[in-house]
A and B are shown apart, each in its own frame.
Chain A
């Protein structure tokens, strides 16, 4: 069996002459617009509609975008997220940026049958510079943070964003302040510290951290990537859709499966495909969007099951899937609307099933995702059982973070993990002797 990988690319952030000069084209970005009431606002360090408190989003003139955003032009550009710069809220690719994006789409032929699927692609976003998809969002936020001249880059994080913000801040030369729940996985804390960030543990849930950071952002003027830079940050996730479409030869799959925390990435995936269809780069066709949440913190999945779009916040998340443990998701309502409106679903996955899915994809495909990836793959299987994903469907599942960040999850429910004859695992320490090894291999006794 051969494994098809589309495309294998070497990420680079080096700008080239193939990149369009957009700085002088002021009409491409129309400004910001309230998602709720439609009121316009100027581009700036703001994120809330002054009239109705709704979220601000960046608005583009797609007619202007279409002048330079063609498949031929994109193909001639360097790899990385900036090859889609016309649909990102920056005037031009930034002078300094980590090599983010252009991650491969991998045909998961061995895993697909285990999930009950006929055709499965894995979007392997475990390979970004800080090992998660958050690098995409943070790269865009950091570019704008530099434009705005903020004194520091900051975030409220469930873990992946901590490393992404710290790494991006290092790359652009800003101090980083990372606020996290105090009981976050140690690997994620160390990761952020490695880049020179100031890490601030808060005694509480992610939602407590986020509430505090809303106030800190207001008082300090720091650029919080997922608060006052959120309109730009959220746009970065659209590049997942652009890359999937480009890797498939400029077309969309039947179903996309992704994890849901705040719902920002989930909804921006759909926006990305919509933009490509509006621009004529892909055929406009229905895509079913399936979200995955941890059963121990599943406000969006619960709303989906109840047939409502009212999100009841979860006060005390109880799950190993810390990267999805947002009890009060800002875009939860929009995520439910997307899943329901597209014919998709939002699935709640228990932790044991998540751990098993991590082991399966690692064992069958050689890809090791963090907990959210396990949730996503289990959600794909659940959606297939529900009939949302159908026989013959082409499915793309997003693995958004690397398993090295959540090492304890892999072994959950997996026995003692000790290797025995014919059973993989950790062998006992052996003397450096061939006879000792052969005896152990035959008997399992050291």
Chain B
């Protein structure tokens, strides 16, 4: 079970939990498991095609998954996935 850290905007759907543990061997499976456990997250996290919503950035152990294998990135038991709004401005 990997850990998923939940940003405040999404915590209503997780009952206020800042972090939850979710099964899954890839980022795709972890996100799917998250949405299954907390269905209220689906519209915020997923695009209609099943990919991550373009306004969501996912970081596995602090690395943007787009620099890894994207949704197919392998996730280990001790890994931490962080979901954050796509927001950057210098």
Name A's B-contacting residues (CB within 8 A).
Answer: 36, 46-55, 156-161, 206-208, 210-211, 214-215, 218, 226-227, 230, 233-234, 261-262, 264, 312-313, 315, 323-326, 328-331, 333
Contacts and interface: CB of A to CB of B under 8 A. Distances in A.
Interface of A is mostly: loop
A214 B85 contact: yes
Contacts of A206: 88, 90
A55 B87 contact: yes
Nearest to B55: A53
A208 B55 contact: no
5 contacts: A160-B90, A315-B64, A326-B90, A330-B86, A330-B89
Given A226-B90, A261-B90, A52 B7 contact: no
Interface residues of B, number: 26
B85 A36 contact: no
A224 to B, nearest CB: 10
Given A47-B85, A52-B43, A53-B55, A161 B90 contact: yes
Given A210-B87, A315-B64, A326-B90, 14 more contacts: A48-B85, A48-B87, A156-B88, A208-B62, A211-B64, A211-B82, A215-B5, A230-B87, A261-B89, A262-B88, A313-B64, A326-B89, A328-B64, A328-B86
Interface string B74-90: 00000000101111111
Nearest to B89: A262
Contacts of B84: 211, 214-215
A338 to B, nearest CB: 16
Nearest to A234: B89
Given A55-B55, A315-B67, A323 B90 contact: yes
B39 interface: no
Contacts of B86: 53, 328, 330
B90 to A, nearest CB: 4
Interface string B1-19: 0000101110010000000
A227 B5 CA distance: 18
Contacts of A47: 85, 87
B53 interface: yes
B44 interface: yes
Contacts of A55: 55, 85, 87
A335 to B, nearest CB: 12
Task: Select the residue from A49, A52, A264 with max chain B CB neighbours within 10 A.
Answer: A52
A326 B90 CA distance: 7
B67 to A, nearest CB: 5
Contacts of A215: 5, 7, 82, 84
A52 B87 contact: no
B56 interface: yes
A376 to B, nearest CB: 15
Contacts of B62: 208, 211
B32 to A, nearest CB: 17
